[in-house]
Amino acid sequence: MDITFKKNKKDLEGEVMVKSMDMEHSAEDFKPEIESCALEQKYITISPECVRCNLCAEECPVDAIAPIESNRQAKILDNCVKCEICAQTCPVRAVKVIKSTSDVDEGVQYHIKDLKIPHRKLRMKDIQVDEDKCKSQGICAKFCPTGAITVEKGKIAQIDRDACIGCGACVNVCPEEAITLERDLGPVIKTKELLIDQEACVQCEVCEENCPVEAIKLEGDEVVLSEDKCILCEVCSTKCPVGALKLERLPNES
């Protein structure tokens, strides 16, 4: 998805005037003055293609994804820090990272774009069905994204090991807990870099106080980053009051 649409600035002013009717001032004595500005935001959302594998929730470093059930897909919670690990982990690319930019000058322009997030390695190492537990309900086959599972009436689930990708959807939705899985999940791919301007830093400790994984701290008059802990989220860079921290996407990434 890559969409751009425009709006006349006068139309925007008219919308503001209409909304002003709900304020203390009436539209008659309120005249909006919209100055030039630009706003960039990023959203993470989950599409209906979610297969209930629960990998995104398991891998989220800040527990910002609600537990998944067969009748409820994954859901991003308000404490999301936009590290994008869930998008890298989802085996069916149901987690979308959307960049939105709004520019107001002579006119108003909105641009919405899906960011292309690289995918972590995911492989099935071993998968087994317990014939004593399997009740042939077929829920596992319903959610398998590759059609690797077939369930005949009265028989245990059969898994095509060549087609299985090791996502674990079947394991997560099976009400009898009849399926066990061993998978190989690769490391998170570095797509961003946190730049630190030591000269601009005012030692306010806001970054250290707000880091969700305790990856950044102030030692003397210098900001020290633990790259092993850092999840490259947007917390410290957006909260730094002097712009001493800047998160940049690496080349060749969207």
**Dihedrals φ, ψ of 234, to 5°?**
-110, 15
Q: Mean pLDDT throughout 41-67?
A: 94
Distance in Å from the first CA to the final CA of the chain: 12
Query: Dihedral through CA 49, CA 53, CA 56, CA 61, nearest 10?
Result: 170
Q: Which residues of 148-166 are buried (b: 16+ CB within 10 A; e: fewer)?
A: bbebeeeebbebeeeebbb
- Predicted confidence at residue 9, as pLDDT, reads 65
- The vertex-110 CA angle with 239 and 50, nearest 5°, equals 75
The predicted model scores a pTM of 0.83
Domains and CATH numbers, the chain: 2-114 (3.30.70.20), 122-185 (3.30.70.20), 192-249 (3.30.70.20)
* pLDDT exceeds 50 at position 254: no
CB 25, CB 41: distance < 8 Å: no
- Predicted confidence at residue 106, as pLDDT, reads 74
* pLDDT exceeds 80 at position 133: yes
